[in-house]
Amino acid sequence: MSTKQRVFSGVQPTGEMHIGTYLGAFRNWVRLQDEYDTIYCIVDQHAITLPQDPDDLRRNRIAGAKVLLATGIDPERALVYAQSYVPQHAELSWLLGVMTPMGVLNRMTQYKDRLAQGHAANLGLFSYPVLMAADILIHRANLVPVGDDQKQHLEMTRDLAERFNNRYGDIFPIPEPLIPETAARVMSLADPTSKMSKSDENVRSRVGIVDPPDVVVKRIKSAMTDSEPTVRYDPEHKAGISNLLEIMSAATGRSIDDLVAEFGDSGYGTFKLAVADALVDLLTPIRERYNELDDGDIVKVLADGAERAEAQAEHYMREVRTAIGLNKL
Protein backbone atom coordinates (compact mmCIF):
# COMPACT_ATOMS: atom_id res chain seq x y z
CA MET A 1 0.00 0.00 0.00
CA SER A 2 1.05 3.61 -0.59
CA THR A 3 3.41 5.29 1.89
CA LYS A 4 1.94 8.75 1.27
CA GLN A 5 -0.03 10.37 4.08
CA ARG A 6 -3.73 9.78 3.64
CA VAL A 7 -6.52 12.33 3.27
CA PHE A 8 -10.20 11.55 3.80
CA SER A 9 -13.23 13.78 3.54
CA GLY A 10 -16.93 13.49 2.85
CA VAL A 11 -19.96 15.39 1.65
CA GLN A 12 -23.66 14.70 2.20
CA PRO A 13 -25.77 14.37 -0.96
CA THR A 14 -28.60 16.42 0.49
CA GLY A 15 -29.10 19.11 -2.13
CA GLU A 16 -27.40 21.65 -4.32
CA MET A 17 -23.62 21.91 -3.85
CA HIS A 18 -22.82 25.58 -3.29
CA ILE A 19 -19.85 27.93 -3.12
CA GLY A 20 -19.55 27.30 0.65
CA THR A 21 -18.78 23.63 0.07
CA TYR A 22 -16.43 24.55 -2.78
CA LEU A 23 -14.44 27.30 -1.04
CA GLY A 24 -14.59 25.64 2.38
CA ALA A 25 -13.77 22.11 1.28
CA PHE A 26 -13.68 20.85 -2.33
CA ARG A 27 -11.07 23.32 -3.49
CA ASN A 28 -8.68 21.91 -0.89
CA TRP A 29 -9.64 18.38 -1.82
CA VAL A 30 -8.51 19.06 -5.40
CA ARG A 31 -5.18 20.57 -4.30
CA LEU A 32 -4.38 17.70 -1.97
CA GLN A 33 -4.58 15.07 -4.74
CA ASP A 34 -1.08 15.90 -5.94
CA GLU A 35 0.68 15.15 -2.70
CA TYR A 36 -1.49 12.74 -0.76
CA ASP A 37 -3.32 9.49 -1.03
CA THR A 38 -6.83 11.01 -1.23
CA ILE A 39 -10.24 9.47 -0.53
CA TYR A 40 -13.48 11.41 -1.04
CA CYS A 41 -16.79 9.95 -0.05
CA ILE A 42 -20.43 10.78 -0.79
CA VAL A 43 -21.82 10.13 2.68
CA ASP A 44 -25.36 9.01 1.87
CA GLN A 45 -25.83 7.19 5.19
CA HIS A 46 -25.26 10.49 6.97
CA ALA A 47 -27.81 12.11 4.65
CA ILE A 48 -30.59 9.80 5.85
CA THR A 49 -30.28 10.99 9.44
CA LEU A 50 -32.86 13.50 8.16
CA PRO A 51 -35.73 12.28 5.93
CA GLN A 52 -34.76 11.99 2.22
CA ASP A 53 -36.90 11.11 -0.76
CA PRO A 54 -35.33 7.91 -2.25
CA ASP A 55 -35.29 9.23 -5.82
CA ASP A 56 -33.80 12.54 -4.71
CA LEU A 57 -31.15 10.67 -2.75
CA ARG A 58 -30.16 8.60 -5.79
CA ARG A 59 -30.11 11.71 -7.99
CA ASN A 60 -28.20 13.83 -5.48
CA ARG A 61 -25.58 11.12 -5.06
CA ILE A 62 -24.80 11.18 -8.79
CA ALA A 63 -25.04 14.98 -9.03
CA GLY A 64 -22.74 15.37 -6.00
CA ALA A 65 -20.10 13.08 -7.45
CA LYS A 66 -20.42 14.88 -10.79
CA VAL A 67 -19.75 18.24 -9.14
CA LEU A 68 -16.69 16.79 -7.40
CA LEU A 69 -15.27 15.57 -10.71
CA ALA A 70 -16.11 18.90 -12.37
CA THR A 71 -14.18 20.82 -9.69
CA GLY A 72 -11.11 18.77 -10.58
CA ILE A 73 -11.26 15.64 -8.44
CA ASP A 74 -9.65 13.03 -10.63
CA PRO A 75 -10.82 9.44 -10.03
CA GLU A 76 -7.52 8.19 -11.45
CA ARG A 77 -5.79 9.76 -8.48
CA ALA A 78 -8.44 10.03 -5.78
CA LEU A 79 -10.70 7.29 -4.53
CA VAL A 80 -14.30 8.48 -4.97
CA TYR A 81 -17.21 6.37 -3.75
CA ALA A 82 -20.52 6.33 -1.88
CA GLN A 83 -20.51 5.40 1.80
CA SER A 84 -23.49 3.01 1.62
CA TYR A 85 -21.65 0.78 -0.88
CA VAL A 86 -19.03 -0.03 1.77
CA PRO A 87 -20.64 -1.73 4.78
CA GLN A 88 -17.51 -1.48 6.94
CA HIS A 89 -18.33 2.18 7.73
CA ALA A 90 -21.47 1.17 9.61
CA GLU A 91 -19.70 -1.75 11.25
CA LEU A 92 -16.89 0.40 12.62
CA SER A 93 -19.43 3.01 13.70
CA TRP A 94 -21.03 0.40 15.97
CA LEU A 95 -17.67 -0.60 17.43
CA LEU A 96 -16.79 3.04 18.15
CA GLY A 97 -20.29 3.73 19.46
CA VAL A 98 -19.79 1.43 22.42
CA MET A 99 -16.84 3.62 23.41
CA THR A 100 -18.58 6.97 22.97
CA PRO A 101 -19.94 8.63 26.13
CA MET A 102 -23.47 10.02 25.78
CA GLY A 103 -22.32 13.26 27.40
CA VAL A 104 -19.88 13.92 24.56
CA LEU A 105 -22.60 13.46 21.93
CA ASN A 106 -24.98 15.63 23.91
CA ARG A 107 -22.55 18.53 23.55
CA MET A 108 -22.36 18.39 19.74
CA THR A 109 -23.58 21.73 18.40
CA GLN A 110 -24.73 20.34 15.03
CA TYR A 111 -27.08 17.95 16.85
CA LYS A 112 -28.39 20.75 19.04
CA ASP A 113 -28.87 22.94 15.94
CA ARG A 114 -30.91 20.20 14.24
CA LEU A 115 -33.20 19.93 17.23
CA ALA A 116 -33.52 23.71 17.36
CA GLN A 117 -34.54 23.63 13.66
CA GLY A 118 -37.46 21.41 14.71
CA HIS A 119 -36.15 17.99 13.61
CA ALA A 120 -37.21 15.11 15.83
CA ALA A 121 -34.33 13.52 17.68
CA ASN A 122 -33.43 10.02 16.47
CA LEU A 123 -30.57 7.70 17.32
CA GLY A 124 -28.88 8.19 13.94
CA LEU A 125 -28.91 11.98 14.24
CA PHE A 126 -27.48 11.66 17.75
CA SER A 127 -24.72 9.25 16.74
CA TYR A 128 -23.96 11.08 13.45
CA PRO A 129 -20.47 12.09 14.66
CA VAL A 130 -19.62 8.46 15.50
CA LEU A 131 -20.32 7.39 11.91
CA MET A 132 -18.21 10.33 10.81
CA ALA A 133 -15.34 9.14 13.03
CA ALA A 134 -15.74 5.69 11.49
CA ASP A 135 -15.48 7.16 7.95
CA ILE A 136 -12.16 8.74 8.82
CA LEU A 137 -10.67 5.97 10.95
CA ILE A 138 -11.71 3.10 8.68
CA HIS A 139 -9.17 4.39 6.17
CA ARG A 140 -6.61 5.44 8.81
CA ALA A 141 -6.64 8.97 7.44
CA ASN A 142 -4.05 11.48 8.67
CA LEU A 143 -5.66 14.66 7.34
CA VAL A 144 -9.28 15.73 7.01
CA PRO A 145 -9.97 18.86 4.89
CA VAL A 146 -13.27 20.38 6.07
CA GLY A 147 -15.03 23.68 6.67
CA ASP A 148 -15.13 25.26 10.09
CA ASP A 149 -18.50 23.68 11.01
CA GLN A 150 -16.92 20.21 11.23
CA LYS A 151 -14.23 21.16 13.75
CA GLN A 152 -16.06 19.80 16.79
CA HIS A 153 -16.75 16.48 15.05
CA LEU A 154 -13.06 16.22 14.22
CA GLU A 155 -12.10 16.81 17.84
CA MET A 156 -14.42 14.00 18.83
CA THR A 157 -12.90 11.73 16.18
CA ARG A 158 -9.43 12.39 17.60
CA ASP A 159 -10.65 11.57 21.12
CA LEU A 160 -12.26 8.34 19.96
CA ALA A 161 -9.10 7.27 18.12
CA GLU A 162 -7.06 7.90 21.27
CA ARG A 163 -9.56 6.08 23.44
CA PHE A 164 -9.50 3.08 21.09
CA ASN A 165 -5.70 3.03 20.89
CA ASN A 166 -5.36 3.23 24.68
CA ARG A 167 -7.57 0.23 25.09
CA TYR A 168 -6.53 -1.94 22.15
CA GLY A 169 -3.07 -0.80 20.99
CA ASP A 170 -1.81 1.59 18.37
CA ILE A 171 -4.28 1.04 15.56
CA PHE A 172 -5.52 4.42 14.39
CA PRO A 173 -3.47 7.49 13.46
CA ILE A 174 -4.83 10.63 15.17
CA PRO A 175 -6.31 12.66 12.28
CA GLU A 176 -5.69 16.39 11.86
CA PRO A 177 -8.36 18.77 10.53
CA LEU A 178 -7.37 21.02 7.64
CA ILE A 179 -9.49 24.18 7.61
CA PRO A 180 -8.95 26.99 5.07
CA GLU A 181 -7.95 30.49 6.23
CA THR A 182 -10.63 32.30 4.25
CA ALA A 183 -14.16 31.10 3.53
CA ALA A 184 -14.04 28.36 6.17
CA ARG A 185 -17.61 29.39 6.99
CA VAL A 186 -19.46 30.99 4.08
CA MET A 187 -22.69 32.52 5.33
CA SER A 188 -26.17 32.49 3.82
CA LEU A 189 -26.84 35.31 1.34
CA ALA A 190 -30.39 35.66 2.68
CA ASP A 191 -29.41 35.63 6.37
CA PRO A 192 -25.70 36.31 6.87
CA THR A 193 -25.87 35.26 10.52
CA SER A 194 -26.40 31.60 9.54
CA LYS A 195 -24.27 29.27 7.45
CA MET A 196 -24.88 28.81 3.72
CA SER A 197 -26.53 25.40 3.51
CA LYS A 198 -27.53 22.86 0.85
CA SER A 199 -30.76 22.09 2.61
CA ASP A 200 -31.98 25.70 3.03
CA GLU A 201 -35.38 25.93 1.34
CA ASN A 202 -34.64 29.49 0.23
CA VAL A 203 -32.62 29.15 -2.99
CA ARG A 204 -31.70 32.84 -2.73
CA SER A 205 -29.55 31.94 0.28
CA ARG A 206 -26.81 30.44 -1.87
CA VAL A 207 -24.90 30.36 -5.16
CA GLY A 208 -24.70 26.86 -6.62
CA ILE A 209 -21.32 25.68 -7.94
CA VAL A 210 -22.87 25.01 -11.34
CA ASP A 211 -25.26 27.97 -11.46
CA PRO A 212 -25.13 29.89 -14.79
CA PRO A 213 -23.72 33.46 -14.75
CA ASP A 214 -27.12 35.22 -14.79
CA VAL A 215 -28.19 33.32 -11.66
CA VAL A 216 -24.87 34.05 -9.92
CA VAL A 217 -25.31 37.78 -10.62
CA LYS A 218 -28.95 37.73 -9.46
CA ARG A 219 -28.13 35.95 -6.21
CA ILE A 220 -25.23 38.22 -5.30
CA LYS A 221 -27.22 41.34 -6.20
CA SER A 222 -30.03 40.26 -3.88
CA ALA A 223 -27.67 39.32 -1.01
CA MET A 224 -28.77 40.90 2.25
CA THR A 225 -26.53 43.77 3.38
CA ASP A 226 -26.97 46.78 5.68
CA SER A 227 -27.86 50.41 5.16
CA GLU A 228 -24.48 51.99 5.96
CA PRO A 229 -22.79 52.41 2.57
CA THR A 230 -19.10 51.68 3.35
CA VAL A 231 -17.55 48.37 2.28
CA ARG A 232 -15.50 47.22 5.26
CA TYR A 233 -14.85 44.00 7.15
CA ASP A 234 -16.85 43.87 10.38
CA PRO A 235 -18.58 40.47 10.74
CA GLU A 236 -20.41 41.54 13.88
CA HIS A 237 -22.05 44.70 12.54
CA LYS A 238 -21.82 44.16 8.80
CA ALA A 239 -22.30 40.42 8.44
CA GLY A 240 -23.55 40.52 4.83
CA ILE A 241 -20.79 42.73 3.45
CA SER A 242 -18.13 40.86 5.46
CA ASN A 243 -19.39 37.58 3.98
CA LEU A 244 -19.16 39.00 0.44
CA LEU A 245 -15.63 40.26 1.18
CA GLU A 246 -14.61 36.77 2.33
CA ILE A 247 -16.18 35.16 -0.72
CA MET A 248 -14.43 37.57 -3.09
CA SER A 249 -11.12 37.18 -1.27
CA ALA A 250 -11.33 33.39 -1.50
CA ALA A 251 -12.43 33.54 -5.15
CA THR A 252 -9.66 35.89 -6.29
CA GLY A 253 -6.80 35.24 -3.83
CA ARG A 254 -6.75 38.98 -2.99
CA SER A 255 -6.56 40.01 0.66
CA ILE A 256 -9.58 41.54 2.36
CA ASP A 257 -7.54 44.71 3.06
CA ASP A 258 -6.79 45.03 -0.62
CA LEU A 259 -10.47 44.65 -1.53
CA VAL A 260 -11.52 47.20 1.10
CA ALA A 261 -8.95 49.64 -0.29
CA GLU A 262 -10.45 49.29 -3.75
CA PHE A 263 -14.17 49.05 -2.96
CA GLY A 264 -14.46 50.87 0.39
CA ASP A 265 -16.28 53.88 -1.10
CA SER A 266 -17.51 52.40 -4.37
CA GLY A 267 -21.04 51.70 -3.12
CA TYR A 268 -22.66 48.32 -2.61
CA GLY A 269 -23.96 48.01 -6.19
CA THR A 270 -20.49 48.24 -7.75
CA PHE A 271 -18.96 45.98 -5.11
CA LYS A 272 -21.64 43.31 -5.55
CA LEU A 273 -21.10 43.26 -9.32
CA ALA A 274 -17.37 42.77 -8.75
CA VAL A 275 -18.07 39.86 -6.38
CA ALA A 276 -20.44 38.31 -8.93
CA ASP A 277 -17.84 38.70 -11.72
CA ALA A 278 -15.17 37.04 -9.58
CA LEU A 279 -17.51 34.12 -8.91
CA VAL A 280 -18.48 33.77 -12.56
CA ASP A 281 -14.77 33.60 -13.49
CA LEU A 282 -14.17 30.98 -10.81
CA LEU A 283 -17.21 28.83 -11.57
CA THR A 284 -17.45 28.93 -15.38
CA PRO A 285 -14.79 26.25 -16.07
CA ILE A 286 -16.39 24.01 -13.42
CA ARG A 287 -19.87 24.42 -14.92
CA GLU A 288 -18.52 23.68 -18.40
CA ARG A 289 -16.85 20.46 -17.22
CA TYR A 290 -20.01 19.50 -15.33
CA ASN A 291 -22.11 19.81 -18.45
CA GLU A 292 -19.74 17.52 -20.36
CA LEU A 293 -19.83 14.71 -17.79
CA ASP A 294 -22.08 11.74 -18.32
CA ASP A 295 -24.19 10.23 -15.52
CA GLY A 296 -23.37 6.69 -16.67
CA ASP A 297 -19.64 7.37 -16.25
CA ILE A 298 -20.26 8.75 -12.76
CA VAL A 299 -22.14 5.58 -11.76
CA LYS A 300 -19.12 3.57 -12.89
CA VAL A 301 -16.66 5.80 -11.00
CA LEU A 302 -18.67 5.28 -7.81
CA ALA A 303 -18.88 1.50 -8.29
CA ASP A 304 -15.16 1.12 -9.07
CA GLY A 305 -14.24 3.39 -6.18
CA ALA A 306 -16.40 1.39 -3.79
CA GLU A 307 -14.69 -1.84 -4.78
CA ARG A 308 -11.27 -0.46 -3.96
CA ALA A 309 -12.50 1.30 -0.82
CA GLU A 310 -14.14 -1.86 0.45
CA ALA A 311 -10.97 -3.92 -0.06
CA GLN A 312 -8.94 -1.38 1.90
CA ALA A 313 -11.57 -1.01 4.65
CA GLU A 314 -11.89 -4.78 5.05
CA HIS A 315 -8.13 -5.16 5.32
CA TYR A 316 -8.04 -2.70 8.23
CA MET A 317 -11.25 -4.00 9.81
CA ARG A 318 -9.72 -7.46 10.25
CA GLU A 319 -7.14 -5.93 12.54
CA VAL A 320 -9.81 -3.97 14.41
CA ARG A 321 -12.01 -7.05 14.91
CA THR A 322 -9.05 -9.07 16.13
CA ALA A 323 -7.99 -6.34 18.56
CA ILE A 324 -11.49 -6.30 20.08
CA GLY A 325 -11.89 -10.10 20.09
CA LEU A 326 -14.57 -10.24 17.40
CA ASN A 327 -12.61 -12.05 14.69
CA LYS A 328 -13.98 -15.29 13.30
CA LEU A 329 -12.21 -18.33 14.77
Least Å from the CB of residue 41 to ligand TYM? 7
Nearer to ligand TYM (CB atom), residue 59 or residue 300: 59
Three-class secondary structure of residue 268 per DSSP: helix
Among 159, 46, 161, 87, smallest CA distance to 317 is for 87
Please report how close the Cβ of residue 325 comes to ligand TYM at its closest, in angstroms: 27
Taking the complex as a whole, how short is the minimal distance between the CB of residue 150 and ligand TYM, in angstroms? 4
- Report how far residue 133's alpha carbon sits from residue 142's, in angstroms, rounded to the nearest whole number: 12
Instruction: Decide if 288 contacts 212 (C-beta within 8 A).
Output: no
Q: Give the side-chain half-sphere CA count within 13 A for 224.
A: 16
Q: Smaller CB distance to ligand TYM: residue 249 or 269?
A: 249
Give me the DSSP letters along 237-262: T-HHHHHHHHHHHHHH---HHHHHHH
For ligand TYM, the closer CB: 33 or 230: 33
How far apart (Å, rounded) are the C-alpha atoms in residues 19 and 183?
A: 9
Give the nearest distance from C-beta 44 to ligand TYM in angstroms. 10
Nearer to ligand TYM by C-beta: 151 or 229? 151
Contact 273, 296 (CB under 8 A): no
**Largest distance between two CA atoms of the chain:** 74
User: Is residue 302 a contact partner of residue 65, using CB atoms and an 8 Å limit?
Assistant: yes
Cβ-based nearer residue to ligand TYM, 159 or 262: 159
Residues in contact with 104: Cβ distance below 8 Å, sequence separation at least 6, in sequence order: 156, 159
Task: Return the residue nearest ligand TYM (CB atom).
Answer: 24
Instruction: Compare residues 9 and 242 and give the one whose CB is closer to ligand TYM.
Output: 9
Closest separation between CB of residue 18 and ligand TYM, Å?
7
Q: How far is the CB of 135 from ligand TYM (least distance, A)?
A: 4
Could you list the residues that contact ligand TYM (CB under 6 A)? 8-12, 20-21, 24-25, 43, 46, 132, 135-136, 144, 146-147, 149-150, 184-186, 195-196
The CB-of-267 to ligand TYM minimum distance in angstroms stands at: 27
C-alpha Rg value of the chain to the nearest Å = 21
Q: Which is nearer to ligand TYM, 156 or 280 (CB)?
A: 156
